[in-house]
Amino acid sequence: MLGKVEKIKSTLLKEERTLNIYLPEGYREKSTEKYPVIYLLDGSANEDFIHTVGVVQFLGMIEFIPKAIVVGIANVDRKRDFTFPTTVSEDKKDFPTTGSSAKFIDFLAKELQPFIEKKYHVGNKTIVGQSLGGLLATEIFLKKPDLFDNYLIVSPSLWWDNESLLNQASGLLAKQVNRKQVYLAVGNEHKQMVAEAEKFGKLLQESKVIQSKFEYFEKEDHLTILHHAVYNGLQVLFPKKTK
């Protein structure tokens, strides 16, 4: 079996959420060994969970990265959970439930992470998000950076709310003091999305605190980039130790 299914009742979100959890080969409940944990947005079984776990399992098997736990967070309403309030009337029309990312971030911090940390032997924390999930991962990194150690951000929807988050990025980055790792990728997609990712990547590289890498996948588009970005990004965030 690829993974196990857990349910968590969220007081903050006022709903039950489904978690798809992959435990690496050799994981033992009675062991004290800790494993990196990768929190995957869009983590439903019919979304990104299965193929992301395949990459994690393969890279761990060949010892390119440490064996890791994957927590796939199944969606209920990603447009609600992954976006902050927008001032753009067209966005409000297209995304009528939008604007609750702050509540979802609280859920991650105050309910989900404690739930996982109580049940499993976890250490280093990574979040993976693409598109609107990439927007959320970027928001967390800029506003609540200590929530995760590593950020794997793919094709983030930084166009949201007339690029307001991107426009705040320089000032928010200047406030960061704890060293974090960020892997940022974008494919051959909409010109605006590429330009925004490139701008954000440049800001990351200019930071004296953040360790980052930006990659442009010329041969991939919005539908095909995630698998490649996760494969490359995990090796950047978990560099192979040389003997």
- Residue 241: the pLDDT is 61
Average pLDDT, the chain: 95
Residue 103 in any domain: the answer is yes
> Which residues face 15 on adjacent strands?
10
**pTM of the predicted model, to two decimals?**
0.96
* Half-sphere exposure at residue 106, Cβ-oriented, CA atoms within 13 angstroms: 10
Mean pLDDT of 117-135: 96
90-102 tens-digit pLDDT: 988 988 999 999 9
- Residue 239: the pLDDT is 83
Residue 147 in any domain: the answer is yes
pLDDT higher than threshold 80 for residue 240? no
The domain that contains 24 carries what CATH number? 3.40.50.1820
The answer to whether residues 53 and 70 touch, using CB atoms and an 8 Å cutoff, is yes
Residue 243 in any domain: the answer is no
Residue 242 in any domain: the answer is no
Q: What is the DSSP pairing of strand 69-73 with strand 35-40? A: parallel
Domain count for the chain: 1
Residue 26 in any domain: the answer is yes
> Which residues face 20 on adjacent strands?
5, 72
Distance of CA 32 to CAs 1, 24, 52, 126, Å? 23, 15, 26, 20
Residue 40 in any domain: the answer is yes
Domain around 229: 4-237
Mean pLDDT of 46-63: 95
- Residue 243: the pLDDT is 43
